[in-house]
Amino acid sequence: AGRVVAVSGASKGIGRAVAQALAGAGATVIGGARTREGVDLPGVTLLPLDVTQEASVQAFAERCAQAGVDALVNNAGVGSFMPVQDMTPAEYRRVMDTNVLGTLLLTRSLIPHFQARHARGLGSQVVNVTSDVSARTFGGGALYTASKYAQRAVTQALAHEGHAYGLRVTEIRPGMVDTFFNATQQGESYKADWLRPADVADAVLYALSVPRHVRVDEVLLHPVVQDVAF
């Protein structure tokens, strides 16, 4: 309650669950996505946002700053899985522009606002939904995992920089989640035992709810059915 949080990629999947959970907990929530038509998100202000487009990000960030956001959740992201020989420059750009550049652009746009908050004695938070594959890879995952390793690097560099202006930075690293990820459908039977978007939202809310002297650096979570070394 009392918090004002911006969430990118709030139209579906994890971002939608995060926005819903935050609104349910009494926060003022500004969601952003390219799609707004037909998105039912009671209690959430859903604004147009394409994280790959500088002007769109700037307009969204201005609205967020005006609303007094104290936390940004960088969640927007796309999947792409193929062997290295099938990768194309266009696909490279789509994935990197969304997952890496998008995170950088949106974060960059709000840093002056976070610095102004710091000058007034207020703290701020950035929570980046990356992936469990931000630090492990697999065949077919070159492009996607490269983007997530990069997003992790951005997250950690920001944590260092943000220390100077009262910014706490968290990386959320989910394993397989039942969403629309990578042009799939939510609720397919093969995803029955995967994480639910609400499970990831719980992790985001945890990171946002710890007292101000605590920083949750990262949360790594998997569905029990996913057997991975960590």
Query: Could you give the residue numbers annotated as active site?
Result: 144
Closest distance to ligand NJP from the beta carbon of 133 (Å): 6
DSSP 3: -
Exposure on the CB side of residue 210, measured as CA atoms within 13 A: 16
Instruction: Residue 145: name the closest of 154, 136, 153 by CA.
Output: 136
Closest distance to ligand NJP from the beta carbon of 55 (Å): 13
Enter the tokens of residue 61: 């960030």
Q: Between 87 and 199, name the residue whose CB sits nearer to ligand NJP.
A: 199
Q: Is 34 in the site for ligand NJP (CB under 6 A)?
A: yes
Neighbours of 145 (CB within 10 A): 19
Enter the tokens of residue 215: 């920083």
Instruction: Residue 117: name the closest of 21, 46, 212 by CA.
Output: 212
Stretch that binds ligand NJP, among 118-126, 174-182, 201-209, 210-218 (CB under 6 A): 174-182
Q: Is 9 in the site for ligand NJP (CB under 6 A)?
A: yes
Q: Between 85 and 230, name the residue whose CB sits nearer to ligand NJP.
A: 230
Q: Is 92 in the site for ligand NJP (CB under 6 A)?
A: no
Give the helix ranges, DSSP H, for the chain.
Answer: 13-24, 54-67, 89-96, 102-119, 142-162, 197-209
94-113 binders of ligand NJP (CB under 6 A)? 98, 102
47-66 binders of ligand NJP (CB under 6 A)? 49-52
Q: Between 103 and 117, name the residue whose CB sits nearer to ligand NJP.
A: 103
Exposure on the CB side of residue 24, measured as CA atoms within 13 A: 11
Residue pair 116/212 in contact by the 8 Å Cβ criterion: no
Closest distance to ligand NJP from the beta carbon of 165 (Å): 25
Rg (CA), the chain: 17
Strands 167-174 and 218-221 come out as parallel
How far apart CA 64 and CA 55 sit, in angstroms, is 14
Q: Is 12 in the site for ligand NJP (CB under 6 A)?
A: yes
Q: Between 109 and 117, name the residue whose CB sits nearer to ligand NJP.
A: 109
Q: Is 179 in the site for ligand NJP (CB under 6 A)?
A: yes
Q: Is 166 in the site for ligand NJP (CB under 6 A)?
A: no
Stretch that binds ligand NJP, among 69-77, 109-117, 203-211, 222-230 (CB under 6 A): 69-77
Q: For binding to ligand NJP (CB under 6 A), which residues are involved?
A: 8-15, 33-35, 49-52, 75-78, 98, 102, 129, 131-133, 174-177, 179-181
